[in-house]
Structure 1
């Protein structure tokens, strides 16, 4: 489970996570867990929300409601709340809250159950289904269970003075509860020189470096070109490298698997189970 969080200034966390999911080399759950309201469905997948293919009433809130009497996070409970992303069929979407006030209906217990379910999810072949989790801008409402349970927490930042300064206090606060090996950066809309500047200024390594590419970014942030993945894109090339490296950190590859496209994800492909 990889969780991304941002400080002030909208550096591009949601865009980065959507692109990372699209490039992921295996079935993956894309969970929109921003307590202020989710943008993944309305952004990248907005066209399919409009035509009714993607339902915004299925996701974090419906899972919290359906499991409100459960004592633990059963991964099988996610099956009825995950939808296949039409733009990338290996991606399962757990849609976010529609309005900020809905976070109260989820509550700490709901976030805790969801965290346990995401962490234990597996495919029918017995392999863990990775989870990419967007918790939005850090605030008093940030769901800490999704940060504390993550294998990696990435702080989104752009190579600008404003975003670097916003990231510093956030990194300091996260470092009080998250070990250094599990805390890194997602450098958004960057160049190699920009990434070096950010790493030097913040003293952290970059788990993801997303190339500056406004046209491709608009696909993942606002559903430009109908949300269809661009054929050639510096952004996609950069996140594809990051996705392969991150996935390979937690899974064993064979040469044949590296050459095999990710399979579609759907309720028939995924099943619950403890890691």
Structure 2
């Protein structure tokens, strides 16, 4: 099992929607972590399992208040709460000002997220919504602990150019001159495109060719459908058959491809339920 970090280079391409959608259909037990230092969105767009609002003080904020004394992986569950639908979440910080409380703790958090895979008490994968990342982003310190970093991008030419450059910069930062066993264990970098379903196959092949030609070390993992209606259903703003939405159907395809390609290495069993959206 693994830590999967999801991020973007610039703008708002749909990182949170992608992270929630993948977590909702993930085939093993999963903990969704909102680690965007600019602040989380789920307390505003989603409800708790009991029907009321999510508690903004239980999650990354409560971790910031207690983790200076250390954080065992299984303690993450003390700060999690179930969303409507049953997905467990560490809700994000209320604002960028709160991020100061986690200064110096991001590497420890990354270690705890990754170690949850092997915890004897509630083992799970962690999908971390890292928001926008750059050279000075504190959440970049999570990434060396991730098994897979997914960069989310829309398909406009300027966005594709930026994700290509960000992938190359991340590969240099994370991998450097690694050789031998270190190279085999290094963090993988993938790209997930948010695309119109009718054009996703064509644009996926084109972007993958660009990444290969640029020698970024990254590959396109798949495409998430640009589906505003499905996103509204996922956030609870609209009624409908979420499991039949283009968003969830495409998320299920991406999730399946990730686990087919990398799942053998993440195969340690975990207790508990898998994703929350019916198959």
SS of the aligned residue for 1:172 comes to: helix
Whether 2:129 is the aligned partner of 1:134: answer: yes
Give the distance between the partners of 1:208 and 1:130, measured in 2 at CA: 20
Give the distance between the partners of 1:206 and 1:105, measured in 2 at CA: 35
Give the distance between the partners of 1:52 and 1:224, measured in 2 at CA: 14
Whether 2:58 is the aligned partner of 1:58: answer: yes
Q: How far off is 1:125 after superposition?
A: 7.1
Are the aligned partners of 2:118 and 2:268 in contact in 1 as well (CA < 8 Å)? Answer: no
SS of the aligned residue for 1:41 comes to: helix
1:33 pairs with one of 35, 44, 51: 35
Whether 2:173 is the aligned partner of 1:177: answer: yes
Equivalent residue, structure 2, for 1:119: 114
Equivalent residue, structure 2, for 1:96: 92
Q: 1:117 to 1:10 in 2, by over 3 A?
A: same
Equivalent residue, structure 1, for 2:182: none
1:214 pairs with one of 228, 234, 246: 228
With 228-237 and 59-68 compared, the bigger mean Cα shift is at 228-237
Equivalent residue, structure 2, for 1:270: none
Whether 2:186 is the aligned partner of 1:188: answer: no
Q: How far off is 1:153 after superposition?
A: 0.6
Q: 1:120 to 1:39 in 2, by over 3 A?
A: same
Give the distance between the partners of 2:76 and 2:121, measured in 1 at CA: 16
Give the distance between the partners of 2:243 and 2:232, measured in 1 at CA: 14
Are the aligned partners of 2:145 and 2:187 in contact in 1 as well (CA < 8 Å)? Answer: no
Q: Which has the higher contact order (CA 8 A, sep 6+)?
A: 1
Are the aligned partners of 1:11 and 1:163 in contact in 2 as well (CA < 8 Å)? Answer: no
Structure 2 unmatched runs, 5+: 176-185, 213-217
Are the aligned partners of 1:40 and 1:96 in contact in 2 as well (CA < 8 Å)? Answer: yes
Q: How far off is 1:143 after superposition?
A: 1.6
Give the distance between the partners of 1:92 and 1:229, measured in 2 at CA: 21
SS of the aligned residue for 2:69 comes to: coil
Give the distance between the partners of 1:103 and 1:137, measured in 2 at CA: 14
Give the distance between the partners of 1:201 and 1:121, measured in 2 at CA: 35
